[in-house]
Amino acid sequence: MAAKNWPKVVVFGDSISQFGFSDVGGWVSMLANRLQRRCDVINRGLSGYNSRWNRIALPKILSPQDWSDVVTFIIFLGANDSVVEQLNPAQHVPLDEYKDNLISMVASLENDFGLKKKQVVLVGPPACCEQKWGVAARERGVPMSKDNNITALYAKACEEAATLTKVTYVDLYSAMMKTQDFPKYLNDGLHLSQEGALLLDTELWKVLETKVGHLPFVLPEWRDIDPKNPRNSLK
């Protein structure tokens, strides 16, 4: 008997997603842990990418046969798009284009790859801490091009894109800004700390639980396997 294709949850984003399996900021690991035996969680985070580049890369991240098994597709972009243009023109994407790119990707998921709107989740960019990221930027020899007020505009644009396309939105920015001590959610002022990963995991699961939480285990529990005839149990 051929192997069964497991349902797939796909994460598509930038470095905050790419580092999502790391010891710090491992929110994708947390999601994969929640979905053990139910789904494969596929991480397609592309460090340094913005929505313009992700829009082009979208058709290249999965093989044609894999798209049919996707049950939820998470787009998490905006941290790079929202950098100050004068200080980082290579990664900056204007606000209106960022919003249009998100709308276009949602349309492509529906029209080109057969996903339904209820399967798509947009996550807005996280808040940033200019002071912490300024230290990290100096150490890396790059300009400090983040502004938390500008990031707020991109989070709002992501929400508007979700509303227009009728897909689910996770407002990570607002969740972080509910506390004055929001820098605790950031490892270096830009990427998530362990606390930030936990916060995103909590906010994301509020919407994912209804989408994938009901999926059954793939293959039976060990207690349900007949030790005298395991082959029959594992049909």
Radius of gyration of the chain, Cα coordinates, nearest whole angstrom: 19
Please answer whether residues 119 and 192 qualify as being in contact, where contact means their C-beta atoms are separated by less than 8 angstroms: no
Tokens for 171, please give them: 């407002």
Per the annotation, the verdict on 226 as an active-site residue is no
Residue of 145, 191, 193, 201 marked active site = 191
Region of residue 157 (phi > 0: left; psi between -120 and 50: alpha; otherwise: beta): alpha
What is the 3-class SS of 43-69, one letter each residue? EEECCCCCHHHHHHHHHHCCCHHHHHH
| Whether 214 is catalytic | no
What are the structure tokens assigned to 80, written together?
């790079």
The strands making up 120-123's β-sheet, listed across from edge to edge, are: 40-45, 8-13, 70-76, 120-123, 168-170
Active-site annotation holder among 15, 108, 193, 233: 15
Catalytic residue among 14, 81, 188, 201: 188
14, 45 in Cβ contact below 8 A? yes
100 is catalytic: no
Q: Which residues are catalytic?
A: 15, 188, 191
